[in-house]
Chains A and B, each alone.
Chain A
Amino acid sequence: MELSQKITSYPGHEITPEDMKEGKYLDVVYKFEPKYSWAAGVAISRFLAELKEGRIIARKCMNCERILVPPRMYCERCFRPTDEWVQIKDTGTINTYSISHVGTDARRLKIPILVAVVDLDGATLGMGILHNLGEVEPSKIKVGMRVRGVWKSSSERQGAITDIRYFKPIGEE
């Protein structure tokens, strides 16, 4: 079998899982444990403060008239400062969804995480946010399904995206 008619050998040595088990080759193990403290920024700090109050806030650009969520202090298209804060709703429509059987490090989960992009009511169409879904059978989830945010109680909220536990279907209200 050829890579190219002019090339007949292929460099490199594979380490197989058996080699690993037998300790055939030396390796060096290291764990990197840095800690970060992120400033959330002007726009997202306000967004998080509003989440703590049980509200979702967006920014409006008067030039393109888009209502942007997550909010930003500048419009990346018009390349000018955005103009005002706008309260939007905690209801929306599922743009797309997935049923995740793996966690962050690819380890398998016993209970799958339900995840969706939710287009929020009151923002410009297509302005979705990433969030989880709950109180729904995975097989019943549909693109286009109407959902509402399920909030933590005011004492539990701490100004984080997880102040909304998840979004759940609202059916025909």
Chain B
Amino acid sequence: MKNRVAIVGAGMTLFRRRMLESPKELSFEATRMALDSAGLELKDIQSVVSGSAPDAFDGVHMKGEYLLDGMGGIGKPNQRVYVGGGTGVFTPIGGWWNVASGMYDTCLCVAEEKMSPLHPHPQYAFWSIFDQILERPLGTTLLWIFSLEMRRYMHKYGITEEEIASVAVKNKGNAVDHPCAQLGAKITVDDVMNSEPICWPVKRLDVSPPSDGAAAVVLASEKVAKKLTDQPVWLDGVGWTLDTTHWTNRDLAYPEYVEKAAWMAYKMARIKKPRKEIDIAEVYDPFDYKELHHMEGLQLAGKGEAPKMAVDGVTQRDGDLPVCPSGGLLGVGNPIAAAGMMKICEVFWQLRGEAGKRQVKKDARTGLAQAWGDLMQVGTVAVMRS
């Protein structure tokens, strides 16, 4: 690598079910906040990476180009990355290429999602990610791959729905302290268990909501970062892998592609024992079981052992390994690409000790953000250090 890469600013909008702002306006607000927090103007930015997940949500094709103005991309080298739910963490990975390669000293990374335009429900857009010949005729909904995976995960390790529900309780509770959160609430395991069965074993409170929102970070080379701030957060490891779309041919109990992405990032960051060396983790949690499933793929828990850590309080903000101190997708909301970027922002604020009421109890020096997506096949991982 030619340059060590730092995050020097972060910003995000409110996450809500439906926002008045257009996709470009949302992008502008998050980008402007990230620039302001870095003490930079657009003229200081050399390249831009944009992230947005399925175009079908807003019905705007080639959204990378459409969003350009709001993302500060006019007349600059610009690229869009696009790996479904994994996009939010893949966007700063794309920015990392720009800066680590020595091509640029500054790069703006912006992720936006507006899911509300699609009626009757944004879920409808996911229908078209399934195989058009063999799967769609069966009446698919995206929820199926989650409910089928959750059931297999429970079966393999003897995990209960109650253990899984404890993650929803934690994350929605954490989100009460997040000013942009859509679904912060103090709830109980019974509330989750008694919520509407949508796609059993998935119940309504096991699932994150559809949302609108945007989030952004500014990346800088070591040379520039040290001039801008005495608190850079280093992007020391990045990793990403994809598995096949033949998802029914895969071991659904374990996300191997997440493990591969994690080891790629850990090796780069010289991490040998992730469970000991990672202080906080923003693990991807579109569903409560996914946080546990991903913790195992990330080597933060042994196979089948993450549920016990959640139940024992290890992953609470005051625990030994705080997971999703932001409130995660379950609590803050899930504007797909922006949700992954929100996790990068949260680790940035946590590692700088700026997270206010959300600040974890332990002295956090090394953090991780992870996202996941497509036809449950992509893992994107970023390791960050203060």
Chain A residues within 8 Å of B, Cβ to Cβ: 1-7, 10-16, 20, 25, 30, 32, 36, 38, 40-41, 44, 48, 68, 70, 76, 95-107, 113, 115-117, 126-132, 138, 143, 160-162
Residue in A closest to B358 when the chains form the complex, CB atoms:
A2
A25 with B20: CB separation less than 8 A: yes
A5 with B356: CB separation less than 8 A: yes
Question: Which size class do B's interface residues fall under?
Answer: 35 or more
Answer whether residue B121 sits at the interface, using C-beta atoms and an 8 A cutoff. Answer: yes
| Chain B residue contacts of A68, Cβ below 8 A | 249
B152 with A129: CB separation less than 8 A: no
| Chain A residue contacts of B33, Cβ below 8 A | 7, 11
Q: List 11 A-B contacts (CB under 8 A).
A: A1-B178, A10-B13, A12-B29, A13-B14, A14-B16, A38-B133, A70-B246, A95-B248, A101-B196, A104-B140, A105-B141
**Docked CA distance A138–B147 (Å):** 14
| Chain A residue contacts of B133, Cβ below 8 A | 38, 40-41, 44, 48, 161
- Which interface residue of A4, A105, A129 has the most chain B CB atoms within 10 A? A4
Q: How far is the CB of B247 from chain A (nearest CB, A)?
A: 8
Answer whether residue B102 sits at the interface, using C-beta atoms and an 8 A cutoff. Answer: no
Residue in B closest to A100 when the chains form the complex, CB atoms:
B199
A102 with B199: CB separation less than 8 A: yes
Residue in A closest to B213 when the chains form the complex, CB atoms:
A12
Listed from nearest, the 8 A-B pairs whose CB atoms lie closest are A98-B147, A11-B29, A2-B356, A106-B121, A12-B14, A96-B152, A106-B123, A12-B13
B248 with A128: CB separation less than 8 A: yes
A105 with B124: CB separation less than 8 A: yes
Answer whether residue B97 sits at the interface, using C-beta atoms and an 8 A cutoff. Answer: no
Answer whether residue B151 sits at the interface, using C-beta atoms and an 8 A cutoff. Answer: yes
A117 with B248: CB separation less than 8 A: yes
Partner of B18, one of A20, A104, A107: A20
| Chain B residue contacts of A113, Cβ below 8 A | 139
**Docked CA distance A68–B26 (Å):** 45
| Chain B residue contacts of A2, Cβ below 8 A | 179, 354-357
Partner of B179, one of A1, A20, A32, A105: A1
**Docked CA distance A113–B198 (Å):** 11
| Chain B residue contacts of A106, Cβ below 8 A | 120-121, 123-124, 141
Q: How far is the CB of A117 from chain B (nearest CB, A)?
A: 5
User: 7 other contacts beyond A44-B134, A117-B252, A132-B139, with CB at 8 A cut-off?
Assistant: A1-B178, A1-B179, A3-B180, A38-B133, A40-B133, A101-B197, A102-B198
